[in-house]
Amino acid sequence: MKSPLPLIALAAALAIPTASATTPATLTQENYDSVKAHVAPTDRDFAFTSVDWKSSLPDAINAASSQDKPILLWLYFGNPTGNC
């Protein structure tokens, strides 16, 4: 049986959005509003703020167990921008 991995990888690559052919080469006063509208954040970009994040593991465990939900544990060590 052949692996479906190459087909899945191809489908994922084709699904990646690419730059539009109408992307302006330079920013001008005439295209400023359309460029600004394209790059301005939308409500969807701030959806993470609607999550009731917990800052301690015990609080997260209590909240998750009372709502029968999983926990996302996000960890970093040191300066969070150190690897950028």
Of the two residues 10 and 46, the one the predictor is more confident about is 46
Of the chain, the percentage scoring pLDDT greater than 90 comes to 39
- How many domains does one find in the chain? 1
| Full residue range of the structural domain in which residue 62 is found | 53-83
Instruction: Evaluate whether residue 79 is within a structural domain.
Output: yes
pTM for the whole structure: 0.43
Mean per-residue pLDDT for 9-33? 76
- pLDDT, position 41: 93
Residue 45 in tokens:
């970009």
Instruction: Evaluate whether residue 16 is within a structural domain.
Output: no
